[in-house]
Every structure is written in C-alpha cells, then in structure tokens.
Amino acid sequence: MSSIEKRLKVIQEIINCSIGKSTSSLNKLYSSQLSIQIPEIRINGNSYNDQNFSIPKHEYFSCITMDFTGDIQGRSHIIIKKENVLQIISNLLQISYKAPGFDNFMTNAMVVIGNIVIHSIVGSFCKILHSNVEFSIPDYFEGTGEILSHWNEHSSQFTQIKVLTHFILESVKISGYIFLFMELNRFDDLIEKLEYLGNTSIAL
C-alpha cells in the first residue's frame, strides 16, 4: 500500500467514525433507521476525473453550506438530490411533502442534518490537530448541477477533500447519494499528524 493510499485509508476511517456518530445522533433525534456509508474519498486533483464524483448538470439538488474559521479554515458542502431530500425529510418528520408549509420543515430539517454531520466531521479533524474553529450559520439553497459545477474548478486556496456517501433509510428502503466537499487550509499539518497515526485505530 502506497503512502497516499495509507493516508486516504486513515482519512476514510476518521470520516467513517464521524459519520457514524452523526448518524446515531440523527436517528435518536428523528427516531429513524438511517444508515450512511462512505465508499469513496478523493483529494484534489484526481477527484472529478472519476465519474462517481461528477455532479449531473441537469439534475436538481439541495445543498447545505457551512464555513468554518479559526486554527483551521475551510468550507463544507453537503449536496443531495432534491427528490431524495423530499423522501428523506417526509419520512423522518412523518409529514407528506405535499402538506402546507412542508418547504419550511424541509429547510429546517436539512439545516439540522447538515449542522450535525459537518460539525462531527470537521470536529474530528480539529481533535487530531488540537485546533479550535467557529462555524458560520448553515446556508441552505437549491440549484441544478450546472449551477453547482463551479466546485469542479480547482481555484480554491484550500486543499479539497471530496467524500461520496451512500445513505439508506431502512423504513422505506430509500437510498441515494450525498456529496460532501471539505476544504482545509492546514492539510499539510493533517498529513503530518496522520503519519504518526499510521495504521493504529483512531479514537474520536
């Protein structure tokens, strides 16, 4: 296994642990059986050459974005197909997506979900780096993949970590994908810490 593969493996373990914690919190909050898996992680250059990480230009998505500042600076985006969001939120809240005011319920629930997941993942990296951060208020918006495609450009000053997750809502057998993008300004520090972690188990 190459050095890069080892680093990716450790990063995947960190994110898996974080997703596990956040999923547990969501299931307690909504009395659901939501499971999330992390099949793919990419870092910068080779990410969007992989078809799995491309964002379909003509599909419609819901997106939660949060900035974080402090010892680590960056930005996280969770992007989910709108049709999947409607199904997930409808089943989590036990409210029909056709009900009056459902859009407000959906937006609020998506903000909660994004808040929990992003805090958990970024918090795990902060723990490894012994760093403190402050988060912005989550921003929710919707758009086509074409509108979101500017994230495919590698113009960011940050190193980008892309995570493709697969979620399953057991009660109704809904499944779909979440694209999570993280941008970190202290990636070299993170890699240095990962060198020390090696193949040991990670306690988060």
Q: What is the tens place of the pLDDT at every residue in 83-96? A: 888 988 888 888 89
Crossing angle between the packed helical segments 82-93 and 102-129, to the nearest 10 degrees: 100
Residues in the chain, total: 204
Task: Read off the pLDDT of residues 79-133 as tens digits, 9 standing for 90 and up.
Answer: 888 888 898 888 888 889 899 999 999 999 999 988 988 888 888 888 887 888 8
- Quick one: DSSP state of residue 196? H
Residue-wise pLDDT for 41-65, tens only, equals 877 644 434 555 667 778 888 888 8
In which element (H, E) is residue 91 found? helix 82-93
- Whether 35 has a pLDDT exceeding 80, the answer reads yes
According to DSSP, residue 186 is labeled -
- Per-state percent for the chain, helix, strand, coil, to nearest 5: 45, 30, 25
**Cα maximum dimension of the chain:** 54
**What string of DSSP letters covers 10-46?**
HHHHHHHHHHHHHHHHHHHHHT--EEEEEEEEEEGGG
